[in-house]
A and B are shown apart, each in its own frame.
Chain A
Amino acid sequence: MSINLSTRPRHAYKRRLYIFPCNKYHHSFTSRCLGKGMKNDSNLAVFIILFQWTHRIVCSRTVKEQSQRQTVARNTISSIAIVAALISFSLYPGSTFAKGWLRKLADADVSVQRIADVDLPIRERASYYFQQYSPPDDSNISFLARDANGVTHIVDSNGRIETFESNDELTRRIPNAENPINPRSFAMVEADYFYFIDELKAFSNGEMVQVILRNGEMAIAKQFLSNGKIEVGLELDSGVIYHGNSASALTNAIKFLNVNFDARDVSVLSLFSRDDFVANQRIAMAGKELHRNIASSSSENIINLVTSMRQKIIVVVGHVEGPDFVVRQADGTASLQLPINDLERAAINADASLILLGCNTSKYSASTGLLSTTKDTDVAKSISLALASADYGGFFSHLAGTEAPFLLRGHTLNGQGRLMIKRQMSERHENQVTGVYVSTIIVAGLSPAESAVLRSRYIFFIPNSFTVTYFSGAILALMRVQSFWKNWRKLWPLAPSRANRPLIARIVISLKWILFLFLAPIAGVVFLPLVALAILMFFIPFIPCSSPLGLLKFCVKGKGGSVSPAVELQGNIGSEINNRANKDAWNKKSKDL
């Protein structure tokens, strides 16, 4: 039914769904939007069409035409239809930009992560990262990515794309320590790709390769020597070099490093001879009650001790000679020789993590260790600071200290990370929730990611999406509480007359109120999509591209500013962004759009 909004009398809009903005301005505004070339942004077009459709359904009905019950039924049906439409748009996108936009709506605040997920062309991705990380002006920066066919592409700061099908070509092109294209050259690559482009590892010398992590941080790829082989790791925290084999392991490691640190999980074992009481005292003062000197024990006893420390983080401090910890008396004689391999085997049996603090322990260790020489004074300071850390990232970072970087291997963290998260959840459970429910989850075993989700909930056993929806529904229900209650009290069981049976009448009405309080928010939820659409419609044109919600507009960011994809179609975005002379014109164009 077509309605001329401008000619309708004002009172006709009076008794409609209050929460939906029924006035002619919205209708004409959306029409203008559609008419002004917004069709390039398919998501926005979807919003506009849905808004107009809803507007017609809701705003065209008046009280005069229908009974109140019919209005409620119609509103409910139209809301369900809108939700179904939104879901269907999400599942069957009309364009690549519309793909999964419901998901984007939920996670819009994690911009780098979303960009990694969105199927943007390589040049636009490069442009986004160049702008996001603002490299120094005099640096020569490249962005690397590999497409589905296994072909590697490099985008430079001028927006030029080069394609490399052979490793030799790539070798010549990637900046590296031996052949830097300019002293400030470096290449950026997303973490997902880093583990697929083996050639990159060969050039991870100095700060030539920087890896964009999913949490938006940037990690520098660094080479290190292990068992005589050159390997490459990522510096995740100051001095903490992570070595893993996959992007998913890396993601888990980053999550683990953010887990709250608990010093009770740690045991500090020192291997200094009894006559070296100064060193013993230093480590004892740093480790406090967690410290134990095991230098006078036999190798077998030490191995048994480590095996008995189930699920602990065991820090071993001592003098390292080759692949062994060696305890030397003051006169130079060795009183104990303990192979690092034996210690590691014992730790694996105990499901514990071993942290080896001695000179160059990473060379001989398959788990963790320092990448250079160190002194007991530095180690004592490191331990003291590390034990006071707030999270595991801080713990490992302090162990690394200023002089000696610390190597952390992915497989070492997997079990330990899961364990720490579980323990944290268990403690949270003890403090906040009672019952068997959570214990069952813990026993069943969760991944760190699942555990993190559980920990982030407002109410532990209820998903946040439900909690937020329920309370938003409660607010909306308050707006229509009178009409809701009117309908509700008419439902079975009907309360008898107060005059005849006052007690039963009161009981029935009280019970109905209680149920109403629980269920009304769910009725309110029905109107949420309508409100959300209305709010989005109001604000989308005013959302700046730089804000996290700017993703809804699919702005492409560049050095010169933010633009919508429509501009990208007009020319070479990279070169235009980089052209400082055109910067003002560029900004103006963005504003116009």
Chain B
Amino acid sequence: MVWALIDYLDHHSPPVMARVRAENPELSELSSGRQLGPSVGKADVYADIAKSALEIAENKIDSMSAYLKTRMMRAARWRMISSITAAVSTAGLVGALLVNARIAAIVTASVNVIASIVSILTQQFENSFLGQGPNAYELFKKLVSLAARVVGLRNELTLAEISNFSEDELLELTRKANALVAELHEVEFTVFPEMKFGT
């Protein structure tokens, strides 16, 4: 029920998970990995885990957004440079052909080739991270949406704590947090493919 939250905390904040495990040694599902059968959880413990995970998630979304923004800006800059270079070299090539300057034509054509290569690299830089899947812009948009959901869910959990929500309501919120964090974790693995999976 909370496997994504546990994975996320194990990955980004092992001491928090260690504390929760130490406080609830009877909950076997808190150990690493998914129990391949039904488990009976404690709503308040799960809510605690969810809050900790969402707090970390908020920070991670900020840092990931900044990284993606930088990456997109760098890509846009290179795209502009390659486009200008391509335009200038194309014009130079046409001019060189008109005055029959063979050497100048070869040089401008070579510059054009380099500009095309830069353009292709930029496209790759902007697009997929793993060779397939969403590009940087789509990921950024997803992160923005996740950030909003994370903030909303954190507020709901805080409210639940203050308002003494029932166990079922708490579990429902925890499930939502689990799904949200699973989604975020997947985005993280897409943006940083070198990240290691849990054991």
Q: Which residues of A contact B (CB under 8 A)?
A: 272, 275-279, 281-282, 285, 317-321, 329-332, 357-360, 373-379
Q: Is B28 an interface residue (CB 8 A)?
A: yes
List the 10 shortest-distance A-B pairs measured between CB atoms, nearest first. Answer: A359-B37, A377-B33, A331-B179, A375-B33, A330-B182, A330-B179, A332-B175, A358-B36, A376-B34, A275-B182
Q: Is B61 an interface residue (CB 8 A)?
A: no
Given contacts A278-B198, A279-B3, A377-B199, contact A319 B179 (CB under 8 A): no
Task: Determine if B197 and A281 form an interchain contact, defined as CB atoms under 8 angstroms apart.
Answer: yes
CB-CB < 8 A to A373: which residues of B?
28, 35-37
CB-CB < 8 A to B1: which residues of A?
332
Task: Determine if A319 and B34 form an interchain contact, defined as CB atoms under 8 angstroms apart.
Answer: yes
**Which listed residue, A329, A330, A358, A377, touches B32 by the CB 8 Å rule?**
A377
CB-CB < 8 A to A275: which residues of B?
4, 179, 182-183, 186
Q: Which residues of B contact A (CB under 8 A)?
A: 1, 3-4, 7, 28, 31-38, 175-176, 178-179, 181-183, 185-186, 189, 197-199
User: Smallest CB-CB separation from B171: which chain A residue?
Assistant: A332
Task: Determine if B34 and A375 form an interchain contact, defined as CB atoms under 8 angstroms apart.
Answer: yes
CB-CB < 8 A to A330: which residues of B?
3-4, 175, 178-179, 181-183
Given contacts A282-B197, A332-B175, contact A357 B182 (CB under 8 A): no
Q: Quote the shortest CB–CB distance from B6 to chain A (angstroms).
A: 10
CB-CB < 8 A to A272: which residues of B?
34
CB-CB < 8 A to A279: which residues of B?
3, 33-34
Q: Given contact pairs A277-B189, A374-B37, enumerate 8 new A-B contacts (beta carbons under 8 Å).
A: A275-B182, A275-B183, A278-B7, A279-B33, A285-B197, A321-B37, A332-B178, A373-B36
User: Smallest CB-CB separation from A285: which chain B residue?
Assistant: B197
Given contacts A330-B4, A332-B1, A375-B31, contact A357 B36 (CB under 8 A): yes
Task: Determine if A375 and B36 form an interchain contact, defined as CB atoms under 8 angstroms apart.
Answer: yes
Task: Determine if B33 and A376 form an interchain contact, defined as CB atoms under 8 angstroms apart.
Answer: yes
User: Smallest CB-CB separation from B189: which chain A residue?
Assistant: A277
User: Smallest CB-CB separation from A370: which chain B residue?
Assistant: B36
CB-CB < 8 A to A329: which residues of B?
179
CB-CB < 8 A to A317: which residues of B?
36
CB-CB < 8 A to A379: which residues of B?
36
CB-CB < 8 A to A378: which residues of B?
33
Q: Quote the shortest CB–CB distance from A337 to chain B (angstroms).
A: 13
Q: Which of A275, A285, A329, A378 has the most CB of B within 10 A?
A: A275
Kindly state the separation between the CA atoms of A584 and B148 in the bound complex, as whole angstroms: 88
